[in-house]
Amino acid sequence: MRRRAGLLLHPTSLPGPWGNGDLGAEAYNFINFLAAAGFSVWQLLPLGPTNGGSPYQCFSAHAGNPHLISVETLRSWGWLDADPRPGVDARLDLVRHAHVLFRKRNDPTEGMEFARFKQANEHWLNDFALYSALKAAYHQAAWTDWPAPLRDRAPAALAEAHRTHASAVEDVRFEQFVFYRQWHTLKAYAHQQGIILFGDMPIFVAHDSADVWAQREYFQLDVQGHPIVVAGVPPDYYSATGQRWGNPHYDWQAMEADGFAWWQQRMESQIDLFDLVRVDHFRGFESYWEVPAIEETAIRGRWVKAPGDALFQALHQRFDPLPLVAEDLGVITEEVDALRIKWALPGMKILQFAFDGGPTNPYLPHHHEHNCVIYTGTHDNNTTLGWYAGLNEAQRDYIQEYLGGPCEPMPWPLIIAVYQSVARMAVVPMQDILGLGSEHRMNTPGTENGNWQWRFTWDQVPADLAGRLRRMAEIYDRLNQP
């Protein structure tokens, strides 16, 4: 309810000697930088375990990514007996070694903490741990390719699998315990510095996930567990064939029948991780594009109504106020707007989208509203410098004229415009405050290679950057106020 400034950076993009950034010392250094620069929001992408690719295709809606675990922190806890080898990303092997030493330590306080974690998260942890152990046993094959008794969760097969893979299952439980222990310690430190954590929740879940395997009744699947229909978006200006995402669609009737229990549990996990959550593809809660799974593209789909109002009513009764931000980008209908407004959810504005279509373009700052989040761009956009470099001269002239002929070089005029906006929350990607070009973008939608790998280094951060950003936060009433 007050004006804030935030920075968008996924933890994998943090510096460090390992294969990706993690929840160790550099995450704390980053929080210190946020506080020094006047930010009060750290926005992240989904934190779930992936196959090394998109954080929007996770193996679980509840679990954390064990590749974010800091092995240095494990050693500081006394759970590793030697210095980890920087640059050799054997992270999961080291976490399993820590599990062995954890058991040998047999510390009663730590043991009780682990037991409480397992009990509190039993509703998802046991299924996820067995799913992970079975994926490893079957060489990462999708659960639909497992032997039919395991695929279909025959009780005798599950009991035998728990016995056979007991050690691997407990290793996964320990990984999740360590992830959440490190995450909550980091979250507490962020709060001490006046920083709230702004997360991201995809509307759909991956078909090859513990959630779909363990709770098939909530998804539209055939008897072998394959999707009958899949998610996507229809053809538009950007794609003549639309986008076929491949996620299974929910059986909304089954979900509504038990008061949306699946969504209640998912929301509880998100609130445990974050203070605020962006819901990706909010449009799908009002109507979703349903594509027959046999289709190779999204052309032959149809719009189907979703019970979004009933869902948010159920969530609102348990979580009040709803700590959600609606990703309402693209072609949005009056019905979608009405659903967002009814539940008082902030929407999103992207300044890179503002400068075509003339003065009625809703992304232009003079059309912004208080209850929204304004960005220069997101993880799916080009960096602002890269975007601006790709415009023609007439487009650049229009932007300069609209912004009052700024003397600052790009991307600073757009960053300043975001800070000036009446929107209560302004968020800028890390790449933009560093003035980086297209080669540093996080993701290019519709492509498979080179995404989700970008990382920054501290030598890219000018010595005066934090002070400059802090002064901007003061001028535009967005200063961090712990």
The sign of the dihedral angle between the CA atoms of 8, 14, 19, 25 is negative
- The dihedrals phi and psi of 188, each to the nearest 5 degrees, come to -65, -40
Mean pLDDT of 280-303: 97
Is it the case that residue 280 has pLDDT exceeding 70?
Answer: yes
Q: What share of the chain is helix, strand, coil (3-state, %, to 5)?
A: 45, 10, 45
Q: What is the Cα 328 distance to its own chain's centre?
A: 16
Q: What residues contact 34, with CB distance under 8 A and at least 6 apart? A: 7, 40, 42, 193, 195, 480
First vs last C-alpha separation in the chain = 14
Catalytic residues, by residue number, are 280, 327, 380
pLDDT at 449: 87
**What proportion of the chain, given as a percentage, has pLDDT over 90?**
93
Residue 236 binned pLDDT confidence (cut-offs 50, 70, 90): confident
Convert the pLDDT of each residue in 86-137 to its tens digit: 655 689 999 999 999 999 999 999 999 999 999 999 999 999 999 999 999 9
Continuous segment of H or E residues that includes residue 41: strand 41-43
Q: What CA–CA distance (Å, rounded) separates 461 from 436? A: 11
Convert the pLDDT of each residue in 386-411 to its tens digit: 999 999 999 999 999 999 999 899 99
Domains and CATH numbers, the chain: 4-66+181-475 (3.20.20.80)
Is it the case that residue 461 has pLDDT exceeding 90?
Answer: yes
pLDDT at 330: 86
Q: Please classify residue 45 by burial: count the beta carbons closer than 10 Å to its beta carbon, then call 0-12 exposed, 13-18 middle and 19+ buried.
A: buried
pLDDT at 317: 95
pLDDT at 87: 56
Convert the pLDDT of each residue in 134-164 to its tens digit: 999 999 999 999 999 999 999 999 999 999 9
Helix residue ranges per DSSP H, 193-298: 210-214, 252-257, 261-273
Q: What CA–CA distance (Å, rounded) separates 319 from 310? A: 14
Q: What CA–CA distance (Å, rounded) separates 373 from 371? A: 7
Convert the pLDDT of each residue in 246-258 to its tens digit: 999 999 999 999 9
Q: What residues contact 199, with CB distance under 8 A and at least 6 apart? A: 43, 44, 46, 47, 270, 273, 274, 276, 277, 278
Q: Please classify residue 401 by burial: count the beta carbons closer than 10 Å to its beta carbon, then call 0-12 exposed, 13-18 middle and 19+ buried.
A: exposed
Cis peptide before 321 (omega within 30 of 0): yes
